[in-house]
Each structure stands twice: as C-alpha cells, then as structure tokens.
Amino acid sequence: MDERLKILNTITEITKDNIPIEIKSIQLEFSCNKYSSKKNSIYHITLNDKHLSKRDAFHIKYNCITCDATHIVGTTQFLRKINKCSYRCGECVNKEEAKRLNHSYYLSCLDNKDTKNVQRVPEKSLTLREQKEESELLFDEYDDDFKNTYYSYHLTNEDYKRISKNIISLQNGKYKIEDLEYWSVFKTNNQMLFSGVFYDNTNDLIIKANQPIMRCDNCGNDWRAKTLEKYKNCYKILCSSCTLCNKTFKIRSTKNCVNDSLLYQSKLELNFINWCNNNGFIVKNGPMIPYVFQGIVRKYKVDFMINDLLIEIKDNHIWYRNDIKSGKNEAKINAVKEEIQKGNYKEYYLITPDIWVNTLKTIKQHIKSK
C-alpha cells in the first residue's frame, strides 16, 4: 500500500472536460467490485468519497517518480499504473537501451525498405524459475490484506500438498501430475496479477491447472473436475456421485474379510457386510452400470458384488418408492439384465428387509454351489 501511495501522491491535477476538479480527499482502497466475475480484490482510487471507475472521463496529471516528467493520462491508465505498482512512465520505458536500439534498427531498415530481414537487439529475458523468484519478491511487497484475499481463493503450498494425492493429471490427462511442480505465486498479465501454476521441468513450460483428473476418496473412481481451487477447503475429495449421495446419506467405510475398503450408507448394508465377513465371502464395492432414463444416460451404482453376483440392498425409504413410481428403478433393472445377458455378471439380487433371510440363504447356496 505504501508504494502505491507514493504513486497516488504524484497527482497534481484532475480535470473533466478541461474543468479542474477540487481534490478534497483522495485515497486508495483495496476491495472487490460486486460485479466482478473474478471476485478478486484490486486497488481503487476514492476521490471525494467516490470510487473512480474506468468509465469516469477524468484526465489525471502526475509527475513521474523516476524522471520527474509531467504526464496527463486517463482514469483507466492511472488505475492500471496503481495496480501494477509501476513507477516508470512511458518516457522512462522508452529510454531503455535495448528498446532504443531496436527502434533505431527498425527505422534504418525502413529507410532501406528491408523490414523482413530486420535483426532486433535481443532483450534480456528471464528464465521461468527467475520469473518465479521475481513474482515471489513482488508478491511480498503487497500488504497482508492482498495476500489474505489472494490465498482465500488460490491454493497455498500446504493446500496443494494435502490434495495432491487425489490429483492424477491436468488438462484432461495431457500432463501427469508427478511430472509437474506446483508454484503458488506466479505473475500474470491480467487483472488477477498473480496465479497458481504448475511447472513442467522437462519441457520448461508453465501449465495451467485446467480440467484436472481427480480420484475420489470414497469410491476410488477417477473423474474430470473444472478447477483445483474448488477443493481448497475440502477435507475429503469426493466425485459428483459421492457428493450427491453424501448430502442425502452419510457415506461410511469399513473392511471386508481380506481388509479391502468397502463403502456403505445404512445399517442394513453394514449388516450384509458383516454377514459376508462371518461366512468368509469376499464382498466388494459394486460396479457402475450405465442406463437410460427420460432420454438421459445415467449411471447406476450397484451396492455390492461377490464374484459375479450383484447385490443391491434397499430399505423402504421414500427415494426408493419414488424411483419405482417414476420408472427409474425399472430402467436400472433392465440395464442390469442386459449386462447379465452379455455374460458380464451371473445374477442380480435385490435384498429388502421383508425378504432378508430367504435371499441370504439363496446367495449362500449359490456361492457354495460353485
């Protein structure tokens, strides 16, 4: 803030339609515009208790800190200067030796009508790691409010370390996560100023964390997410199916008789797992079977599987009754029957409390007959 106040204090006059504006008070405020799509805070100028915006047709006269030259710019240009914490004016930038020589070479080529073969004087370029170090130094110059706002949305190194076990790849499988290094702060050229990125050391590339492939903590399935920042404050990383189920039923986990993880949602399901363990039957989490209902392709997650037997456990709750009434349950059963006809599975058992004992006996006989 102090560095930007120095730039703000270089203002000598503000006019609108060539009429000077009386400067009763002028100050900086770090906040987020309620209409911003990024929801990131930036620096605003408050003139006489009113925010200056890009639509305000003010002309701002200021003295450059580095060369003391006087300039007049519009509101937008000065707001960018404040947010970028840019001390140099256009004249200071143009005095850079490399840029001056490049311009001189270009003009000489224009005289010779040889613009195609112009050779520019190479400017000093930073490596990506040097840019990272420069970004961190620049980030450290910002006040705590800016840093806290930034990390309220972006992943810290600790956040990334916590969720990294669930990240398989980025950009829909293009980049494997084990080949990348996470940088929590990297300078950008947009209004966000900084962003978290990944560095590909092998190819010397900066990778954006778009379309990450994630692994669910509950079911172990992989899915494509939109962003990583969505999981910044999540204790468990859940896929969309488990997230939906978890809002209705509390998903819990236990072990089968060979110590593999099993998911269950009700006491009835836990009783079935215990019955399998007591009888030495290796029960596993059921598969996802695609089915079509109301013209939409969906996925039916069967509760359990023993060898090639599918087992679904239903209590008499309202969701199950609604599925029967709407025809959704019938669509699921038909999809399962098609899988059995293809030879992918042997049999499907639906267990409800009223047929609990008899169905368990049938399953037991089926398993022992093999």
Quick: pLDDT tens for 175-223.
999 989 999 999 987 767 889 999 998 889 999 888 999 998 877 788 8
Write out the H or E segment, with its range, that includes residue 44.
strand 42-47
pLDDT at 273: 94
pLDDT grade, residue 121 (50/70/90)? Answer: very low
pLDDT the model gives residue 69: 85
CA distance 292 to 313: 21
Q: Is-contact 243 221, C-beta < 8 A?
A: no
Rg (CA), the chain: 32
- With a cut of 90, say whether residue 323 has pLDDT above it: no
Q: How many residues does the chain have?
A: 370
pLDDT at 339: 93
Regarding predicted confidence, which is higher, 51 or 211?
211
- pLDDT for 328 beyond 60: yes
Residue 116 has pLDDT above 60, yes or no: no
Q: What percent of the chain has pLDDT over 70?
A: 85
Helix (H) or strand (E) holding 239: none
DSSP state of 229: G
Residue 156 and residue 211: Cα distance in Å, rounded? 19
- Give the per-residue pLDDT at 192: 73
Mean per-residue pLDDT for 307-322?
84
Report the mean per-residue pLDDT for the chain: 83
pLDDT at 359: 92
Mean pLDDT, residues 57-79: 85
Of 278, 165, 316, 135, nearest in space to 228 by CA: 165
Nearest to 31 by CA among 21, 41, 23, 20: 41
User: What local confidence, expressed as pLDDT, does residue 95 receive?
Assistant: 66
Where does the pLDDT of residue 118 fall: very low under 50, low under 70, confident under 90, or very high at 90 and above?
very low
Query: For 146-168, what is the mean pLDDT?
Result: 88
For residue 171, pLDDT beyond 70: yes
The CATH class given to the 249-368 domain equals alpha beta
Residue 106 has pLDDT above 70, yes or no: no
- Residue 332: pLDDT over 80: yes
- The residue ranking higher by pLDDT, 151 or 42, is 151
